[in-house]
């Protein structure tokens, strides 16, 4: 019991120290990090849809400003994905298509609130541009890479460990229709990030 109390006291003393690493707030300043997680891509048209899971990987950089318990930030991210899917009878009976996810560029903002000295809950929103390699055979046929504009919404939690921090977040992205097909693309992602602040 005495040992457990000592451990709890040590942890309690560590949290404020992590929250004020190098004499500044835990969630303040520039950062860079790596991102990895699950990428769930959904392709739909005419009431039909197909989906595919893949592995997402990328890098993120940004800047936060902490004002008391409130954190305002801007960030940019570039990701790749292994997601790829093929389907038939997507728009009309007998047609076929293949969609392979390419790079995804995101630029946006986030706002969060500290719920503990070193723990932040946040939401985010911004612009995303994904490149997709599409092959479609139907009433019109084509093959090539398309850049799709869209928006991203997300929410997550970040835990500070001094100069480093770990995040877990969910985000949803919705893109414009793929040209000449009427195909609608969106994705759900659950990712983890490890970042370094400087």
User: Could you tell me the pLDDT band of residue 59, with boundaries at 50, 70 and 90?
Assistant: very high
Six token digits for residue 166: 């770990």
Residue 29: which CATH number?
2.40.160.20
Looking at residue 181, what is its pLDDT? 63
Residue 166 burial (CB count, 10 A): 14
SS percent in the chain: helix, strand, coil, step 5: 10, 70, 20
CA dist., res. 69 & res. 193, Å (int)? 22
Which tens digit of pLDDT belongs to each residue from 83-137?
887 778 767 788 887 778 889 999 999 999 999 999 999 999 999 999 988 787 8
Looking at residue 16, what is its pLDDT? 44
User: Could you tell me the pLDDT band of residue 142, with boundaries at 50, 70 and 90?
Assistant: confident
List the beta bridge partners of residue 140.
none
Predicted model pTM: 0.77
Six token digits for residue 189: 């992602």
Phi and psi at residue 71, in whole multiples of 5°? -125, 125
Range of the domain at 77: 2-197
How many domains in the chain?
Answer: 1
């Amino acid at each position: 019991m005495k040992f457990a109390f000592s451990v709890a006291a040590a942890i309690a003393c560590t949290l404020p120290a992590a929250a004020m690493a190098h004499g500044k707030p835990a969630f303040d300043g520039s950062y860079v990090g790596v991102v990895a997680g699950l990428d769930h891509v959904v392709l739909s048209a005419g009431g039909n849809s197909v989906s595919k899971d893949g592995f997402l990987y990328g890098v993120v950089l940004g800047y936060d400003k902490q004002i008391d318990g409130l954190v305002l930030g801007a960030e940019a991210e570039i990701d790749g994905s292994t997601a790829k899917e093929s389907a038939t009878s997507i728009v009309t009976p007998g047609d076929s298509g293949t969609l392979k996810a390419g790079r995804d560029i995101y630029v946006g903002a986030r706002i969060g609130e500290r719920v503990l000295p070193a723990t932040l809950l946040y939401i985010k929103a911004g612009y995303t541009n994904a490149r997709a390699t599409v092959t479609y055979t139907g009433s019109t046929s084509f093959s090539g890479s398309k850049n799709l504009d869209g928006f991203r919404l997300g929410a997550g939690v970040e835990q500070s460990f001094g100069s480093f921090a770990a995040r877990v977040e969910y985000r949803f992205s919705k893109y414009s229709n793929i040209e000449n097909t009427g195909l609608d693309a969106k994705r759900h992602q659950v990712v983890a990030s490890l970042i370094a602040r400087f």
